Amino acid sequence: MIQLNALSYHIGPKSLLQNVFLSARPGEVLAIIGANGAGKSTLLKLLSGDLKPSAGEVIFEGKNLAQWPAAALARRRAVLTQQHTLALAFEVRELVLLGRYPHFGGQPTAHDHAVVAAALDLVGLRHLAGREYPTLSGGEQQRAQLARVLAQVWEAEKGFLLLDEPLTGLDLRHQHQTLAVARQLARRGFGVIAVLHDLNLAAQYADQVLLLHQGRAVASGPPAEVLTPDYIHLGFGVEVELLTHPSLGCPLIVPTVSMPF
């Protein structure tokens, strides 16, 4: 369980996040949505511990995030960031094995290698296990990194996965595949927090949605409560019409006006 209590973050006089409350539970997929510059990535960086809050606190499993020993935290919680630079030409399997580093001392065990293979299966990259990472396409690199963070928390109890825009650069099939993996993990008792841009994907896959607007959490709750025309207009400045997905029953969001430029 991750809880945010009155979390604020500012750089100098500029406030990036103000007084955000949130609880993300294991077994649920939480989508963070909002316009560019609303504070989504900042919020995720505070959740992951990259940034220290200016006020308020991040509580992970009843303990302040800053008080968690780094190694223990790494075995419970993995982070997929937006930047995927890799300085060296590791093979895909070597990259995914990096996710197992918090679990073994000197040499990886057979179990570690098995987890690497399973994580690669899950993202559909097993056939590229022996390829060098820089030779992959952008989408394949993204999925290889996802496999790495999956391998990191593979056997964690109530583990957490933080994903910052995990769908960037993925084709339609792999966008859905990635979110399906997130759902599967939630079913296994993981908590997943993902920054998403596509509201329809959020509607289809998330249990909870948090809408950020100018550094404030303006709405949070199940998709049907947050993804309303009023909130979407507030958050994005776009008029939308809400339909019901004919087969899935979740909200389907369609912009109604063409934007004047």
State the residues that interact with other proteins by CB under 8 A: 48-50, 70-75, 78-79, 81, 83, 85-91, 93-94, 98-99, 101-102, 110-111, 113-118, 120-122, 124, 126, 129-130, 152, 154-155, 177, 180-181, 184-185, 188
CB of 237 to other proteins, least distance (A): 32
CB of 194 to other proteins, least distance (A): 16
The β-bridge partners of 221 are: 209
In this structure, what DSSP letter does residue 36 have? T
CA–CA separation, 253 vs 244, rounded Å? 8
CB of 211 to other proteins, least distance (A): 26
CB of 160 to other proteins, least distance (A): 12
CA–CA separation, 140 vs 174, rounded Å? 9
Q: Which is nearer to other proteins, 173 or 233 (CB)?
A: 173
CB of 114 to other proteins, least distance (A): 4
CA–CA separation, 51 vs 170, rounded Å? 27
Are 125 and 143 a contacting pair, CB within 8 Å?
yes
Residue with tokens 């908590």: 191
Helices of type H across 102-226: 110-123, 138-152, 172-187, 199-205, 223-226
Q: Which is nearer to other proteins, 78 or 195 (CB)?
A: 78
Q: Which is nearer to other proteins, 98 or 224 (CB)?
A: 98
Q: Which is nearer to other proteins, 69 or 260 (CB)?
A: 69
